[in-house]
Amino acid sequence: MKRRLTQALVVACAAFAALLPATSAAAHVTVTPTTATAGGRATFTFKVPNESDTAKTVQLEVVFPDNAALTSVSLRPVPGWSATVNRKPSAAPAQPTEQDHTAAAGAVTSIVWRSEVGVGKNEFQTFDVAVGQLPKEPTTLVFKALQTYSDGVVVRWIDVPQDGAPRPEHPAMVVTVAAPPAAPAAEPAPANGTALALAGLVIALLALGLTIVALLRRRPAPPASPDVPARPGNAGKQPVKAGRR
């Protein structure tokens, strides 16, 4: 009896352990990267897996955060999928943006992707979106998603994770907008090579001139001519010219 009880416990533990990887690896709608630089632009990739054994994912709606007026978006085309960008109405006239060359009439509220083919069992699909301009101050952006299956089931990925709390079953996507890194201290600019060469030439010429002056000062003076002393008794006499006899 005791042996059978032990065997039953071992089988139960093995079955529970087999279920753990599948539970921890449960797929969610995710976004990458999860960090961005304040005041800049970013390209986010939304990844949606299919978690149904009998239905396909035929629609994904990503709801944009309310605390960031993201007006400029560019979408990477996905074969077999159509995309609709929903915006807030704006009284200001639409102005084309340089990045995506589209009229930004108002802040984006959501993007909806639809497909008749859809995402099947054990498959996933990614959607790339370039957005800007991000908020200039550090903040947190929460992107909520609604995943629709071909059988009409809608999974709402809208629960905001809280610090210190267990991870929700259907978490929303969170992006941290951080301040740009501090610029490194500027290094002194290297001296101009031509200026250094000219300065070296001037110093060399000055040194040469000083050397020449020093050598001239050290040169000995030429010896003076010796005076020829007059012979005694010849003082005042004129030399006699020899004449013919």
The full set of domain ranges for the chain reads 26-178
Could you tell me how many helices (H) and strands (E) the chain has, helices first?
2, 11
Of 185, 167, 171, whose CA–CA distance to 143 is shortest?
171
The CATH fold of domain 26-178: Immunoglobulin-like (2.60.40)
Ramachandran region, residue 152 (left: φ > 0; alpha: ψ -120 to 50; beta: rest): left
> Rg of the Cα trace of the chain?
47
pLDDT (tens digit per residue) in 81-104? 999 999 998 765 545 444 444 444
Is there a contact between 96 and 102 (Cβ–Cβ < 8 Å)? yes
pTM for the full model? 0.63
> What are the structure tokens assigned to 183, written together?
């610029």
Measure Cα distances from 139 to 33, 63, 231 in Å. 15, 17, 120
Tens-level pLDDT at each residue, the chain (245 residues) = 545 544 544 444 444 434 433 333 467 999 999 999 999 999 999 999 999 999 999 999 999 999 999 999 999 999 999 999 999 987 655 454 444 444 446 999 999 999 999 999 999 999 999 998 999 999 999 999 999 999 999 999 999 989 888 989 999 999 999 999 887 766 666 556 666 667 777 787 777 777 777 777 776 666 655 555 555 555 555 555 555 54
